[in-house]
Amino acid sequence: MMTAPFAGHEISRRSLLQFGAAAGFLLGTGALTGCAGPTGLPGADTLTLALNRSLVSLDNKLNQFDAAVTVQRAVRQALTAIGPEIKPVPVLADRFEMTGDTQWTVRLREGIRYSDGSPVTIEDVSTALKMYRQVQGSFVAGFFPEFPTVVPVDGRTFTLESEKPIPILDALMSMILITPAAQNKPEELQTGVGTGPYVVKKFNRGAGTYSLQRNPNYWGEPAAIENVEVRFLPEESSRVIALRSGEVDVIDTITPDSREQLAGLPGVVLKEASSLRLNQIFYNFRKPAGHPLSDVRVRQALSHAVNGEALVKDVMVDSVTQAEGVTPSSLFGYTRTGSYVYNPAKAKQMLKEAGVTDLKLKIIWETGEFPSDTSVMEALVEMFGDIGVAAELQQFEPGGNILAWRQGKAGDWDLLGNGFPSPTGLAITMLQGMYAGTAEKEKTRDTYQGYVVPSVTAKITAASSEVDPVRREKLLAEAQQAVWDTWPCAWAFVPKSVLAHTDRVQGLTLSANNSYPLADVRLES
C-alpha cells in the first residue's frame, strides 16, 4: 500500500492511523480481496504464525530474514546457537573449545539423530561447511573470514582447523545448519530432514506456507505444541485483523501504528526486544569510475539531504534510533563513529563543489524489509528533490527478483533500502559480512552491494583474526571508523524488534535477533 506524500517533512500521525483504520475496514468488508487473511481458528494444539515476509526455504544458505530464524531452527539445528545473553551455547555439540590459535576441538552430543532416526555424523558437518562455501550469493559465507577444515579425531570428536585464528568460530558455527551429507547441496534446500524439535509435514514454497509437526524422534526435550502452521500475510493490516480475530496466534515485525492499535486490547500481548539489526539506505558500489556515486563527497552530500530526525519521529514514530556508527550499538564491539546531520544547504554546496548537476537516483527495496518502508522511501524522494536531485522508486514484492538486482545481474540502481543483521551479536560479524569484500568475491557477486575497499578489508581481517581481546577491540574500532569514512549509506537506523501474540500463547521469549525458541512455546486452552 502506498501512503500519502511526505509533505514538508512531516506526516500527520493521526492521518496515518486513520488510513490504517480505513484499510482495516475495507479488509473486514472484503473490499480488498487480495489481502484476505486465513480462514478458521487454530486448533487447541496448533500454533499459527503469520510472517510479514515469505519463507522460501527452511535452509539458510541464501536467505535468512529475522523471523525466519524461529522456523528454520525448529527444523534444522547447528552445533551451537546464540543464547539469550547473546553468547554461543551448545546444541548438537556438547564440547566446543578453542585448543590452539588456529584450532577448535568439537565433540558431537551423544545419541543425536535426525527425524528419520539416522545418526548425525562428522561427515555431515564437513559437508555442510563445503556446501555453504560453494553456494553462490551465500548469505552465510560472507560472515566467515575463512571456512575451517574438519579433521576427525574419533567417532564423535573432530577439530576445526584454519590458516588464521578465528576466535569467534563457536559463534559463527551457529549459522551452519546440519543436514545429512547425502542430501546436502550447494543450494537452498527445499526438502530433507533435520535434527530439530519439529518436522515438515507439508509445504508450499510459492505461497510461503509450512505445516510443522512435533518430531517424535527428537533427541532433546519434546516440543510443547503438537502442530505449527506458518503463513505469509504481506499486508500488515491483514495480519493485525487475523490476530485480533484469533485466526493467527503470532505476528512479527509490526509497525508503530499497528502497535498503537493493538496496545491494551484484551487478549493481545506485545513483546519488544533490542535489535541486532542495522537498516540502511545503502549505496550501489558497483558504479564505474567517474559516476557521481563513486565519489565519497557525493555520497556524503546526499546524506546531508536526509532529515533523519523527521523520519524517526514522524514516519517511524520513535520506534527506531538513528545510527551513530556502521553497526548497531547493541552489538559487542560496537564503536560510535559519527552522526548523520541534516543540512540541505551543505548538501547543495558539496554537490556543486563536486561538479554534479542533474543527478538522478533510483531507489529499490523489497516490501516488508522494515516497518514503514514505503513511507520512508517516499520521504526520501521529497528530501532529495529539495536539493535538486530527482529520485524514482522501484518496489519489489517478496519472493521477487530483487536478489538478482542487488547482485548486479539485473537492472541498475543507486540506493537500496535494506536491513542486515549480526546473527552472532558481534560487531565483527556484521563488519565481515558487509564490508570485507574482495575482488575475488565480487567475481561471484558474494560482496555486499559491490563494497570492495581493500584498506577496509585489511583492517577487518586483522581484527577478525586477533586472539587477544583487548587488541581485537582496538582493531575493531579502527575498522569501524575506516568504514564510516567511506560513507557507505545515505542514512541508517537501528529498529526495535516487536511482535504481538494472543494471550493463549505462553513461554514466548523474544530475543534481540527477533526470534524465539519455537519448542519452548506453549498454548493455554
d(C-alpha 358, C-alpha 361), whole Å: 10
What percent of the chain has pLDDT above 90? 74
- Grid cell 547447528 is found at 78
Q: What is the pLDDT of residues 297-353, one digit of tens each?
A: 999 999 999 999 999 999 998 889 999 999 999 899 999 999 999 999 999 999 999
d(C-alpha 449, C-alpha 437), whole Å: 9
The number of C-alpha atoms within 13 Å of 460 and in the hemisphere containing its C-beta is 30
pTM of the model: 0.81
What was the pLDDT predicted at 356?
A: 96
- Grid cell 519472493 is found at 399
- CA-to-CA separations, 87 to 171, 354, 445, 520, in angstroms, rounded: 7, 46, 31, 19
- How does residue 89 score in pLDDT terms, banded at 50, 70 and 90? very high
Domain 77-183 has CATH 3.30.70.20: no
> What SS3 class is residue 22?
helix
Sequence ranges of the domains in the chain: 77-183, 277-496
> What SS3 class is residue 439?
helix
Contact assessment for residue 226 and residue 45, using Cβ atoms and an 8 Å cutoff:
yes
- CATH architecture of the domain formed by 277-496: Roll (3.10)
Residue 27 pLDDT > 60: no
Average pLDDT over residues 120-133: 97
Q: What is the pLDDT of residues 462-504, one digit of tens each?
A: 999 999 999 999 999 999 999 999 999 999 999 888 899 999 9
If we measure between CA atoms, which residue out of 379, 299, 371, 381 comes closest to residue 340?
299
Residue by residue, DSSP assigns 119-168 as: BP-HHHHHHHHHHHHHSTT-TTGGG-SSPPEEEE-SSSEEEEE-SS--TT
